[in-house]
Amino acid sequence: MTDRTPLMAGNWKMNCNHVEAAGLVQKLDWTLKDGHYDASKSECALIVPFTDIRTVQTLVEGDKIPMAYGAQDVSLYASGAYTGEISADMLAKLKCAYVVVGHSERRDYHGETDEIINAKAKVVLAAGMIPIVCCGEKLDIRKAGEQVPFVLAQVDICLAGLTAEQVASLVIAYEPVWAIGTGEVATPEDAQEVCGAIRERVAATFGAEAADKVRIQYGGSVKANNIVDIMAKPDVDGALVGGASLNADEFAKIVMFYAV
């Protein structure tokens, strides 16, 4: 089996202006250094507002901070009359490693469909960045026990038309919507059930090698006090962390889950 390096990604959502971003990156850097963070055991990434990216880039490059960074969304279009949009090339030029596509908040508040998310994943890959493709069920689906077929149907459309190599390189984030920002965390078994099913579906559609390499994250009320048990599950390769990533001490503990 491939040794998949876990990806601990902090999704800041619409928090932190660029001045606050600088402070948070520096504090996180000191805290990780203090804890003798080992980047070979877990990769740390910050998914920040567009207006913070240049600031984060300057700090990461200038201070040689072992962190990747990326954006929370991208335009479908390459350039032109799309007021308010940010293109994949603009993000690649800022050396973004990752772009989140299809977060449930984009699905809910901006009407993004699986088809749009599929197109965005392709745009991100074409620009040489790694999409973090989000999926996850709402509470009614979970209560009906339909979470696995529901999420697999999302994954089928979101990854449609990609090559096995592209799928091997990307990240899928399973974020049950009922667990996002609610303090209601899925049990490690809940996370494993769906992440394991996603990997099986990737194997069936794209082959064993893609399934072995693709990283599958869990997201939804991840905290320092629940990450260790979640990461113990074989098909969970990291976490997409919202609220807890805004606190350097808390997020550093999550990034260094392996040290507990």
Segment interacting with ligand 13P, rule: CB under 6 A, options 118-126, 152-160, 210-218, 240-248: 240-248
Q: How far apart are CA 195 and CA 155, in angstroms?
A: 11
Three-state DSSP at 55 gives helix
What tokens appear for 217 in the block? Answer: 């994250």
Assess whether 18 carries a catalytic annotation: no
Give yes or no for residue 220 binding ligand 13P (CB under 6 A). yes
Binding mask 88-117 for ligand 13P (x = CB under 6 A): ---------------x--------------
Supply the minimum distance, in Å, between the C-beta of residue 71 and ligand 13P.
Answer: 13
Segment interacting with ligand 13P, rule: CB under 6 A, options 59-67, 113-121, 148-156, 174-182: 174-182
Give yes or no for residue 225 binding ligand 13P (CB under 6 A). no
Supply the minimum distance, in Å, between the C-beta of residue 180 and ligand 13P.
Answer: 4
Q: How far apart are CA 221 and CA 218, in angstroms?
A: 10
| Residue 37 or 218 with smaller CB distance to ligand 13P | 218
Supply the minimum distance, in Å, between the C-beta of residue 230 and ligand 13P.
Answer: 12
| Residue 210 or 233 with smaller CB distance to ligand 13P | 233
Three-state DSSP at 43 gives strand
Assess whether 112 carries a catalytic annotation: no
Three-state DSSP at 27 gives helix
> 10 Å Cβ neighbour count for 175?
27
Binds ligand 13P (CB under 6 A): choice among 221, 237, 238, 254: 221
Report which DSSP code applies to 1.
Answer: -
Q: Which of 43, 103, 105, 193 is catalytic?
A: 103
Task: Count residues near ligand 13P (CB under 6 A).
Answer: 14
Q: How far apart are CA 140 and CA 183, in angstroms?
A: 18
Q: How far apart are CA 145 and CA 58, in angstroms?
A: 46
Q: What's the half-sphere exposure (Cβ side, CA atoms, 13 Å) at 141?
A: 17
Nearest-CB residue for ligand 13P: 242
